[in-house]
Every structure is written in structure tokens, then in C-alpha cells.
Amino acid sequence: MAKSKNGTVFFCQECGYESAKWMGQCPGCKAWNTFVEERVTISTKGSGTASKSGSAAKRAEPSKLSEVSLGGEERINTHIGELDRVLGGGIVPGSLTLVGGDPGIGKSTLLLQVCQKLAGAGRKVLYLSGEESLRQIKIRANRIGEFNDNLLLLCETNLHAIEEILKMMKPDVTVIDSIQTMYSEDISAAPGSVSQVREATNIFLQLAKGMNISIFLVGHVTKEGTVAGPRVLEHMVDTVLYFEGDRHASYRILRGVKNRFGSTNEIGVFEMREEGLIEVMNPSEFMLNGRPEDASGSVVACSMEGTRPILIEIQALVCGSNFGIPRRQAIGTDFNRVNLLMAVLEKRVGLQMSGCDAYVNLAGGIKIVEPAIDLGIVLAIVSSFKNRAIDSKIIVFGEVGLSGEVRAVSMARQRVQEAKKLGFTTCILPAVCMEGLKEEKDIKVIGVRNVRDAIDLI
């Protein structure tokens, strides 16, 4: 006969590793001081007859790949183009999507707008909040616009009650705001703990797959920018979206980190206004707004985010250091990459910057790690070091190697077309990408083989 007793186990908050005792370092993810104590109910079998549930249960039979039917289900269009782009073409029925971001960044506003569009299209939508009252949701909804009766609101945190309501209502789409507030009475741990978050996600996963309900989970992030709770939460869901941007700036960037149904390279750009989040159809023009003219240390580079080219202004400031150790700082790009490129300039070009402070900034607050902006960073640093302005109609892109060579990047034609669309007259790019671009009209295309050639051009 099965019995149950209360026990104590320790979970790693970063990766979900389980241990019978507390440890300073997690054996799974090697993080320090991440173990927390949780009380759990442990089932034990008595000395009587062995359980026959395994043999009595219906066993699944393996299937041939050729016999698996894809079905005729189509994606659900949210009527928000930027979100559909990141999702890979719309919401997949029965999918579980996690939306993370800093407090106040606009997660709840975006998902309420999604509910508005879906309800307007005739979909049955349930917005479930564990943090706000119905009155607070109504105030935000009035700011966004009109809603019809297909949208239902519920304030509840008990997982068993939510499960019964979902089985009874069978909505097309459900929003859970937020996963950290949900709790199960079967687990004695506090809401937001490792055990509760994992149990809640597991229940919503079963509901999404079993009842074909598309569920959005809102997740809070930690100081390091990752979703609070164990990383196992990201492994369980189908899609992970992060909302980025400065709370005090008007733009927001929605980035796909994991997507089982599409690419993870796409981004969506929004602008926060009083009436909610507005799509930015041309992010390049938006990012270059207010760019200074005839200022040294400024150059425009082109990066690809999925299939979309984005033009970004790279700013650099190089000045003499007042201390023995020069200060280096990078905002919006990899700090170590900037140090590497400065070392290439010293070794391959002969620019002595070892006694200079250097600051590199990607204007607009966007974060880009694509190597194609290397040439832009190099030219911005040289421009500031020599105090010579670069023509505002010049755009550059290319990866820089340790030998100072400028290496090829993908989708060169799309980058040149985007630059031409915004009025740039000269494009400096890797020489190996010149094939098929020489006949371009209205823009002069120049290929360079190394950073010295690029510096001589400007």
C-alpha cells in the first residue's frame, strides 16, 4: 500500500538540480549559492503487493514517420505584424509561450493588445491575472481601446481552480500573468519557488497539448536578465520571447530566444505610447533618428536580425587616460569584442591607443552581437582617435579577423538595398561580397580586403 510523508529537498534556482542536502556549488550548472530548501510530499510503497499500475496502463505504440499526419491546422494570426514575425508566422494552436522582460517594460500591455486583436477576430480568449485586480486591468484596457465580449477576465492563483475553469471554458488562447504567482495546494512551498513554478508550468503544458489551447506565460526576470525560477522552465515551453529596451525610452524590442516553430533570429520593434505599443515598420529609420552630422566617432553599420536588415549608428569616443590603466566600456555590443578590435588596430595598423580611454555605444540602446558590425566599430574608433568625421552618407559592414582582414558576411545584397532605401550613397563592404553587387544603381559599392584599406578610404 502506498504511503506519503513530508520531506525536505534542495533545488538549484538556476538549473533545477535536485539534492538531498545543501551544497555551495551546483554540480549541474556550477553556480554558487543557488540551492534553496523546499518541502515536498514523497510517496513510498509499502511491503505489500507491488503496484501494477505500470502494466495495467495502456502502452504507447511506436509509429512510422511516414504515417504521422501533420493535420490541416493553420497558425492563429494575432494581427500584430511584429509579433507574428517573431513567432514565425503566428500562434501555433496548442503551443506554450513564455514572455519575459524587466518590470514595466510592457509585457502585460502587449499581451492585452494581443487579446484585443484575437477577441475582435472572433477567438475566445481568457486573460488570467494573479497580480492585478479586474479594476486595474480595466483601466489599462480603456487606455488601449475597445474590447468585445469574446475576452474574459479572471483573477485567480490556485492552479486546481484554474485547471477546472480551462477545462470548462476551452478558450482558444489563454494569458497567464504571471507564472510566479500561481500555486498548487499539494506543494507546501511558497508561490514563486522552484517547486511551484515547475509544477505550474507542467500543468499548463498538459492543458495546452491535451486541449489544444495556446497559452502565454508571463515570467519575471532576475537582475541578470534571465527568467526567475529554474532554467527548466525555458526547456519545458515551446517558445521563449524576451522584451528588451530601456524603460525610460519609447522603443521596445521583442526577441525570440527559443522557438520550436520558427527562427530565433527575428526581432520585433515597438514604440511605447499612451495608447499602448505601436509597431515600428521601419526600425532603421527609427534608430537613425537624431543622428549628429559632421561629428567624429560616428558611423552607420548594417546588421541582419533574421531576414530583416537594421541600420544602426555606432558611436565611439577615444581620449587620453588620466590614470595608468585606460578605461574601456561598451554599451550594446560585446565588451571583449571591442577590446579585440582595438588590439587588431594597434598590431595591424599601428595606432597606439594603449594609453587612451575608449567608449563604444550603439545608439538607440539596441543590443547587437553580430560580427558584421566589426568594421563599423573599427572605423568609429579610428574616426574618434584621429578626430576626423566620416561622411554621413557612408555605410559599412563586415567581419574583422585577427589578421586585420575583412571577412564575408551573409545577405550582402539585402543590406545594400536597405542602405539605398534610406538614402546612403556609398557602401563599404568585404571585397569577397562584391560579386553580383557591381551593377547596383544609386549607390556606390566599394569592396575592401583589410582594415587598412577601409581606413584609407575614409
Annotated binding site: 101-108
> Omega into 383 within 30° of 0, i.e. cis?
no
Residues 42-50: contacts with CB under 8 Å, at least 24 apart = 42/4, 42/5, 42/6, 42/7, 43/2, 43/3, 43/4, 44/2, 44/3, 44/4, 44/5, 45/1, 45/2, 45/3, 46/1, 46/2, 46/3, 48/1
Q: 308-320 and 328-331: which strand pairing?
A: unpaired
CA pseudo-torsion sign 126, 127, 130, 133:
negative
Residues marked as binding for ATP? 101-108
CA distance linking residue 280 with residue 268, whole number of Å: 8
CB contact set of 60 (below 8 Å; sequence gap of 6+): none
Joined together, the cell numbers standing for residue 54 give 505500470
> Helices marked H in 72-193 — which ranges?
81-87, 107-120, 134-144, 159-169
Q: Are 244 and 101 in contact (CB under 8 A)?
A: yes
CB contact set of 224 (below 8 Å; sequence gap of 6+): none
Q: Are 211 and 174 in contact (CB under 8 A)?
A: no
Q: Exposed e or buried b for every residue in 113-140, given b needs 16+ CB within 10 A?
A: bbbbbbbbeebbbbbbbbebeeeebeee
CA distance linking residue 82 with residue 113, whole number of Å: 13
Q: Are 244 and 112 in contact (CB under 8 A)?
A: no
Burial (CB < 10 A; 0-12, 13-18, 19+), residue 89, is middle
